[in-house]
Structure 1
Amino acid sequence: MADIKEESKSSKLDGIKKAAIFMITLGPETSAQIMKQLPDSYIQKVSYEIANIDHVSQKDREMIIDEFLEMSQAREYILDGGIDYAKTLLNKALGTQRAKEVIDMLNQIQLRERPFNIARKADPQQLTNLLLGEQSQTVALILCYMQPDKAAQILVQFPPEKQTDIAERIGTISSTSPAVIERIEKVIESKFSSFVENETESVGGVNTLVDILNQVGRTTEKAIVAELEQTQPALAEEVKASLFTFEDIVSLQKADVQKVLREVNQDDLVLALKGVSDELRDFIFDNLSSRAVETLKEDMQFLGPARLSAVEEAQQKIVTVIRRLDEQGEVYIMRGEQDAIVE
Structure 2
Amino acid sequence: MAENKPAEKPATKMRAVDQAAILLMSLGESDAAEVLKHMGPKEVQRIGAAMTQLSNVQQQDVQQVMTNFLEEVRTLTGLGVGADNYIRRMLVTALGEDKANGLIDRILLGGNTTGLDTLKWMEARSVADLIRNEHPQIQAIVIAYLDSDQSAEILSFFPEKVRLDIVMRVASLDTVHPGALQELNAILEKQFSGNAASQTKTMGGYKVAAEIMNNLDGSIETSLMEAIRNVDEDMGNQIQDLMFVFDNLKDIDDRGIQALLREVSSDVLIVALKGADTDLQEKIFKNMSKRAGELLRDDLEAKPPVRLSEVETAQREILMIARRMADSGEIILGGSGEKML
Normalised to the residue count of structure 1, the TM-score between the two structures is 0.39
Point out the structure with the larger helix share: 1
Per the normalisation by structure 2, the TM-score is 0.40
Larger Cα-atom Rg: 1
